[in-house]
Amino acid sequence: MQRIVVIGTTGSGKSTFGRRLAATLGVPFVELDRFLWSPNWQKRDTAEYQRLLGEALAQDGWVMDGNTRENRDRVWGRADTVVWLNYPFLINFSRLFWRTVQRVIKHEEVFEGCVETFHSQFLSSDSLFIWFFRTFWKRRKMYRELFDHPPYPHLHMIEFTKPRKANRFIQLATQKESQP
């Protein structure tokens, strides 16, 4: 495993898992949403996004998180492994809720110049909660189809339905990487 894509619905913990796995494997972590957003939640120019993505994909090893359908062929075609964090609704929703509350209270910058506010997350049509409810079941269905019928025969497909199993996977990877 050298080029791993981490997928899952909003709130599943893709970035947290991806960062930990990348650190364990000693490869860069690539957060696709970081390429997508410019300061103040403005979408980055498509050409710039594609350039950044191309630079990331050209590296020998990486862990990448993101669900962009538009770039799936490009990303999955270069990947060797796809990890799906397929957790139940309540786990994802509670993670999204508490993460959002923490970011709002701390005025935490999510990406450069991008901050989630109480208004944007709880009173706006751009809320991640609205996005979560719109996409949770659709994405799970789509990922199930992709896992049952992988679009690329070279991909190793891994699905975790419980966070503790994903954590155990990272522990095992840590042990493997520390062996001579």
Q: Name residue, tokens 């840590």.
A: 174
Q: What is the pLDDT of residue 100?
A: 95
Structure tokens at 69: 């359908």
> How does pLDDT run across 50-81, given as a tens digit for each residue?
999 999 999 999 999 987 788 899 999 999 99
Q: Give kind and range of the element (H or E) at residue 79.
A: none
pLDDT, one tens digit for every residue, the chain (180 residues): 899 999 999 999 999 999 999 999 999 999 999 999 999 999 999 999 999 999 999 999 999 998 778 889 999 999 999 999 999 999 999 999 999 999 999 999 998 888 998 998 988 998 999 999 999 999 999 999 999 998 888 999 999 999 999 999 999 888 776 666
Q: What share of the chain is helix, strand, coil (3-state, %, to 5)?
A: 55, 20, 25
Domains observed in the chain: 3-88+138-174 (3.40.50.300)
The rounded distance, in Å, linking the Cα atoms of 133 and 151 is 26
> How does pLDDT run across 105-124, given as a tens digit for each residue?
999 999 888 899 899 898 89
Structure tokens at 171: 């522990």
